[in-house]
């Protein structure tokens, strides 16, 4: 069995966990920072993320794995022949909330996907910060 990599990104938000949670779990807000979607916060429910940009066009198949309101959200992320798991962990801080994003399951054959995900999550988190700031 080959070794896998996990991408980890962290960002602190000056807003309360409730606002960040809303942006992570409300379909029209998810569309503002991530992609168009048919997300519902129900464990076991499949959903899709859809994107059409000059850089990339496609569908990501997902399924909700875990939900702990204002603490943890996890779902599968299947795209371009690669199955990974994305987990959002929210930790209260004195000034707001720390968000940790983990995307696990990148194998050696998908090193380019790992680099693409690193770039993508940086962009997504910057957009998420603007969405949460506007709530």
**Among 38, 88, 84, 83, residue whose Cα is nearest residue 67:** 88
| pTM greater than 0.85 | yes
Locate the domains of the chain by residue range.
Answer: 4-133
20-74: pLDDT as tens digits: 999 999 999 999 999 999 999 999 999 999 988 777 788 999 999 999 999 999 9
Q: 103 is written with which tokens? A: 């995307």
In sequence order, which residues have a C-beta less than 8 Å from that of residue 44 and are 6 or more positions away?
A: 63, 64
CATH code that applies to domain 4-133: 3.30.530.20
Q: What is the pLDDT of residue 134?
A: 96
Q: What is the pLDDT of residue 57?
A: 80
79-119: pLDDT as tens digits: 988 999 999 999 999 999 999 999 999 998 888 999 999 99
Q: What is the pLDDT of residue 55?
A: 72
**Residue 2 pLDDT class (50, 70, 90 cuts):** low
């Amino acid at each position: 069995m080959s070794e896998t990599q996990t991408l980890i990104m962290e960002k602190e938000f000056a807003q309360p966990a409730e606002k960040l949670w809303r942006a992570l779990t409300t379909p029209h807000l998810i569309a503002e920072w991530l992609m168009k979607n048919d997300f519902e916060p129900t464990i076991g429910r499949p959903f899709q993320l859809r994107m059409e940009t000059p850089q990339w066009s496609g569908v990501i198949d997902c399924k909700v794995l875990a939900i702990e309101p204002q603490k943890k959200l996890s779902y599968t992320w299947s795209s371009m022949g690669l199955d990974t798991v994305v987990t959002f962990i929210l930790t209260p801080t004195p000034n707001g909330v720390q968000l940790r994003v983990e995307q696990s399951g990148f194998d050696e054959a998908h090193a380019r996907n790992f680099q693409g995900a690193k770039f993508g999550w940086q962009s997504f988190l910057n957009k998420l910060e603007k969405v949460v700031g506007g709530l």
